[in-house]
Amino acid sequence: MFLLFSCCNFKKSIIKALILSYFNGKEKKEGFPIKEFMQFNKMITPSIIKFVFWIGAGLSVLFGIIQIIAGAASPYGGGIQVISGLFTIVLGPFITRIYCELLIIFFKIQETLQEIKNRGNIEG
C-alpha cells in the first residue's frame, strides 16, 4: 500500500515539475501564459521529451543488466547474450538520445518559425 501511495506522489511530483518548468518565469515576461498554452503557441512536448530520454536511458541500462545476468546464468552459450547486454548498456542511451534530439529539432524549427512570424517577416 505504501508503494502505491509513494508511486502516486512520484507521479504528482513529476507532473508538477513539468508544469513548473513550462511556466517558469513566464508570468513576468509575457503576461499570463495560459493563453499561449490554450492557443498552442508554446509547445510543452520538448519538456516531456527530455523526461522520456531519461526514462529510455534508464530502461536501456536496466535491460542491458538483465541481459548480462541472464547470459551469465545460462548453462550453454550465454556469451552472446552478455555481449548483447553490454551493447545495450552502451548504445541504448546513445540511440535514445539521438531519437529524442531528432524530435526536439522539429520543435526548434517550429519555435524559430514562430519567432520569424512574430517579427513580421512573414505575412500570415
- pLDDT, residue 30, reads 53
Please check whether residue 89 is in contact with residue 64, taking contact to mean a CB–CB distance below 8 angstroms.
yes
- What is the pTM for the complete model shown? 0.61
- pLDDT, residue 12, reads 63
* pLDDT value at 111 more than 50: yes
CA neighbours closer than 13 Å in the CB half-sphere of residue 92: 19
Highest mean pLDDT among 24-33, 41-50, 98-107: 98-107
Q: Enumerate the domain spans of the chain.
A: 45-117
Higher pLDDT, 40 or 78: 78
Grade residue 56 by pLDDT with cuts at 50, 70 and 90.
very high
